[in-house]
Structures are given as structure tokens and as C-alpha cells.
Homo-oligomer: A and B are copies of this chain.
């Protein structure tokens, strides 16, 4: 099993807010992350595909192809956008890093399955909200 990772970044605004709860609950739970005037981040995303290299190319997946999938499925909809109100596939979730990595994983897995070498598939999506705050979704890892 070989793991291939491609890194990219995008900038976006967001706020943490659960619309089914009161403003007080939101302020107390999310603190300054609940600011109604938004704040934002330079997000860094790492996408890892696991599989066996194709014997003809030596590639688990052509990283140029993976870069294009990440551009189409994540960066184009999210870059310089408001994650709460402008990204269709994030509708109805609170944009914590935990929820974002799960949503990004589902955005990517079908396109990657088609493009990777036989028996290869999306393994993990990791998101750096800041250098110090990181979330990863890795559903097939024996934890």
C-alpha cells in the first residue's frame, strides 16, 4: 500500500453558528468564532490516495489529475467564498473543521475512484484551519 498526498490552499470566511440554537447558546459555545460579521482563514487541505502504483506509470494517481479534481470539487467552490452561505455542498452544516473534512471527502471520493490506478481510492482528507488547529477524516483506517 502506497499513500500519495497532494496539498493545496484556499482562503474563505465563515462563522460557527448553529441556527437551531439561541444566540446566547451560540455565543457561549463558539465565542469569537460566532462573530456575526464573520472571520476567515487560509485553509490548507491535504488529500491522500492509497493504492498500488500502476506498473506502466509508477503512479498511484497522476498528481496533475488529483490537483485538477481538488481544484474543481473544492477550490473553485470554496476559494474566496463565505463557507456558510455560498457553497452548495456545505449547506446545512456548521463549518467546523470536523464537518468540513467529512464534506470534502464525499466531494472527492467518486472522481478519485475513477482517476486512480486499479484498487486505489481516497484515503484521507486533512484540513489545517490554522497552523495549530487541524482536522482529518480517514474513514477506512483501522484506528
Residues of A within 8 A of B (CB): 1-9, 11-14, 16, 18, 21, 29-33, 35, 37-42, 50, 53, 56-60, 63-64, 79-82, 85-86, 93-99, 101-102, 123, 130-143
Q: How far is A135 from B123 in the complex, measured between Cα atoms in Å?
A: 13
Q: How far is A139 from B50 in the complex, measured between Cα atoms in Å?
A: 11
How far in angstroms is the closest Cβ of chain B from A142? Answer: 4
Question: Which residue from chain B places its CB closest to the CB of A78 in the assembled complex?
Answer: B39
**Number of chain copies forming the complex:** 6
**A142 touches which of B8, B138, B139, B142 (Cβ 8 Å):** B142
Residues of B within 8 A of A143 (CB): 1, 50, 123, 140-142
Say yes or no: B38 contacts A41, CB within 8 Å.
no
